[in-house]
Amino acid sequence: MHLRRPAHLRFEYRESPEISLASLVSGAPGLPEGRWLATAAHFDDEIEVDLQDLALFAAIPEQGIAASEIAAQFGVDRLQRLLTSGVLLSDADEHGAHAATDEAVRAANWWGPSAIVQRLSRWDGIDVGEIEAAEGKRRISGMIETNGLPPAEAISLRLHSEQLPLPQPSQTGFDELLGARSTCRNFDVSAQVSLAELSQVLHRVFGAQASHELAPGATMLKKNSPSGGGLHPIGAFVLAQRVDALAPGLYHYQCVGHALEPLREMSAAQVADAAHELVAGQSWFANAPVLVLMAARFPRTFWKYRNHAKAWKVIQLDAGHLSQTLYLSATELGYGAFITGAINDHFAERLCSLDGITHGAIAVSGFGKRAADGANVEFDPLGKVAR
């Protein structure tokens, strides 16, 4: 059996704030207890390790080493524990799952720290609504009491007398549209979106407006939002709850052919449950007639920016650009819209058959008619939201 290191592995020494009871009883100095934790891009959990484990890991050269040599130095039990957890990899069939996942990470050309953040920041089974019901909503007054005042809303780097006033900007219809854009937290649960409206929003936000083949097999797309390297890795999975002339279910938007690909036929109740789970129990978003999961094909960007420190960051920026285009498209139709990163990523992966390494969830957006009344507080200081 041959051993090797994972592609991306991180060790952290984390101190516990508690003082150990044994230290208090013995009269020894009350130092906080600590432990070493391993995190990686190919497994989900934090794995507790010790100093001997770190020494074992350091003894494995880049090209790998025979398991018998490490077992002789550090013991079979220790080696087996690290192999089972995935902290170490081998070519044995019993450790094949960890090795295969690690190989997928390598092949996708992830930059190590980003790969670990992407892996560990995914949620599963989180219900924000239940948490708020148990612990109460986070109020501004409570946050100020706990955290103090937030940083100032704006900064000045020069004295007021040194500032150069700009001419008053002219107002156009675009300014009206921008002013009416506001996050919706109250959707009309009886209203539908027409298929034509869904088509218009999807084409404006995610659709290819043009394409150009730079070389045989290397095609670039022109879309209405910018993308890092012009690569547009983010696609749309549509969870349709209430769309006229479209059966409830899960669809993939084919951005070049401008078509919906049916993936899962679902009942209205099943779609509602999936929407609730997808947005982590945020019922104020789950009620939207249309929810769109933005999912990134990471190798599309990493093909150009291989193992690059900025590559994962620009994919997140892409999602922001897309959400603003969706907001404005929905606002023009008289609809409200939202975007949230507080999603159950693991559920999204199961729902849409994503592996989380080459194809992973980024955020969820949605739109639809606003409810006539606002049970949930919305931020509309301009007072331009139409109901």
Ranges of each domain in the chain: 2-19+34-107, 178-368
pLDDT tens-place string over residues 273-299: 999 999 999 999 999 999 999 999 999
- Starting from the edge strand earliest in sequence, which strands make up the sheet with 259-265, in order? 259-265, 249-254, 234-240, 290-297, 359-368, 336-340
> 54-103: per-residue pLDDT in tens?
999 999 999 999 999 999 999 999 999 999 999 999 999 999 999 999 99
CATH of range 178-368; options 3.40.109.10, 3.20.20.70, 3.90.1150.10, 3.20.20.140: 3.40.109.10
Structure-token pair, residue 331? 């606002």
Stretch 141-151: mean pLDDT: 92
C-alpha to C-alpha distance for 376 and 84, rounded to whole angstroms: 47
**Using alpha carbons only, what angle is made at residue 153 by residues 148 and 158, rounded to the nearest 5 degrees?**
115
Residue 141 structure tokens:
């007054």
| Average model confidence (pLDDT) across the chain | 93
pLDDT over 70 for what percent of the chain? Answer: 95
Which residues sit opposite 15 in a β-bridge? 34
Residue 326 has pLDDT above 90, yes or no: yes
Q: What's the CA gap between 330 and 368, in Å, rounded?
A: 8
Query: Whole-prediction pTM value?
Result: 0.90
Distance of CA 384 to the CA centre of its chain: 31
- Determine the pLDDT at residue 107: 96
pLDDT at res. 377: 81
For position 18, what pLDDT does the model report? Answer: 55
